[in-house]
Amino acid sequence: MRLLLISLLLALSTTAQADDSLYRAWGEKPGIRAVMDDFVARLPQHERIGRRFKMTDPQHLASQLTEQLCELAGGPCKYEGPDMASAHEGMELQKADFNALVEVLQAAMQARGIAFADQNRMLAKLAPLHREMLGR
């Protein structure tokens, strides 16, 4: 009986492990940080949304985004920043703003050599945040 219980617990712990393949594909935390540094540096120059980032602390934003994407990708990070609704409250963001943000992110991912499939996997994890960011 004891052997059966131990076997069952081992089987459950193995299947309960998180999938960190996206985290590894992005180069783990240093790779995610490199993409976020690139992304944040591009934001103020973007013709449609750049004005929204002129007064942003780039180091803080890159750090927060790194933690958030690290967690979403299955890494060991724990995002402890504000939820997306609170962080974007009062900004009156529109769908076009969100789309422009994704364009900038795609450029940063491509510049950092993130494989297209892994770009799409991350975008799929970020997509549910769309409504929260737009306050809907």
Tens of pLDDT along 36-93?
Answer: 999 999 999 999 999 988 889 999 999 999 999 999 999 999 999 887 777 777 677 7
Name the amino acid, one letter, at 91.
M
Longest dimension (CA), the chain: 67
DSSP 18: -
pLDDT category, 8, cuts 50, 70, 90? very low
DSSP 13: H
56 neighbors 43 (Cβ within 8 angstroms): yes
Among residues 120, 130, 127, 107, the alpha carbon closest in space to that of 38 is found at: 107
22 neighbors 121 (Cβ within 8 angstroms): yes
pLDDT digits (tens, 9 = 90+) for 25-46: 999 999 999 999 999 999 999 9
Query: What is the DSSP annotation of 76-105?
Result: S----S--HHHHTTTS---HHHHHHHHHHH
Residues in contact with 112: Cβ distance below 8 Å, sequence separation at least 6, in sequence order: 31, 34, 35, 38
Note the pTM of the prediction, 2 decimals. Answer: 0.82
